[in-house]
């Protein structure tokens, strides 16, 4: 019995388990760095602040031992939602962090929206695989949607209800 109590305590104190929480203003420097290392055209501080001020937006970070290691930005539009940005710090990729961030957003919107959309570069296999694993389906192509380099976007959709 003592052993199981100790095991429970150990799990509660497990420092290797990231937490997913709402993004706050004090996270912005770290989030900007992650965006910079993840995208050719990273989001600006102004873009993040605009979303923080938008009541329909959902912004979450993954935090590990006090360090921000990933973020996701989504927005609700009537009965739909859109994933606007998602990135995980390079050293922490392939550990299920993006999956956790996405599940947290999907859990928060599941009672309010019927479907969730996102755009992704057609060459971005890691992201496409992640979204497919979460149940998103390929529903269209937006020709030459991205710049630097110019590339088509794959439009993906998750039916929620």
Cβ-based burial of 160 (10 A; exposed 0-12, middle 13-18, buried ≥19): middle
Q: Is residue 133 a contact point for ligand COA (CB under 6 A)?
A: yes
Tell which one of 52, 124, 152, 155 touches ligand COA (CB under 6 A): 124
How many other β-carbons are positioned within 10 Å of the β-carbon of residue 44? 11
Q: Which residues are paired to 136 by β-bridges?
A: none
Site for ligand COA in 75-94 (CB under 6 A): 86-88, 93-94
Our CB check for ligand COA shows the closer of 113 and 120 to be 120
Distance between CA atoms of 40 and 123, rounded to whole angstroms?
14
Minimum distance, C-beta of residue 130 to ligand COA, in the bound complex (Å): 3
Binding site for ligand COA (CB under 6 A): 38, 86-88, 93-99, 120, 124-127, 129-130, 133
């Amino acid at each position: 019995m003592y052993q199981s109590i100790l095991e429970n305590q150990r799990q509660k104190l497990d420092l290797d388990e990231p937490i997913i929480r709402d993004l706050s203003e004090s996270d912005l420097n770290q989030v900007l760095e992650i965006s910079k290392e993840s995208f050719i055209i990273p989001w600006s501080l102004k873009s993040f602040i605009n979303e923080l001020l938008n009541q329909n937006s959902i912004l979450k970070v993954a935090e590990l031992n006090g360090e921000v290691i990933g973020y996701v930005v989504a927005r609700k539009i009537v009965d739909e939602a859109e994933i606007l940005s998602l990135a995980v710090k390079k050293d922490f990729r392939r550990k299920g962090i993006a999956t956790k961030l996405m599940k947290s957003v999907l859990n928060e919107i599941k009672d309010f929206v019927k479907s969730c959309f996102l755009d992704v570069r057609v060459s971005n296999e890691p992201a496409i695989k992640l979204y497919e694993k979460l149940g998103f389906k390929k529903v269209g192509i937006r020709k030459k949607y991205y710049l630097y380099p110019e590339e088509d976007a794959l439009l993906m959709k998750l039916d929620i209800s």
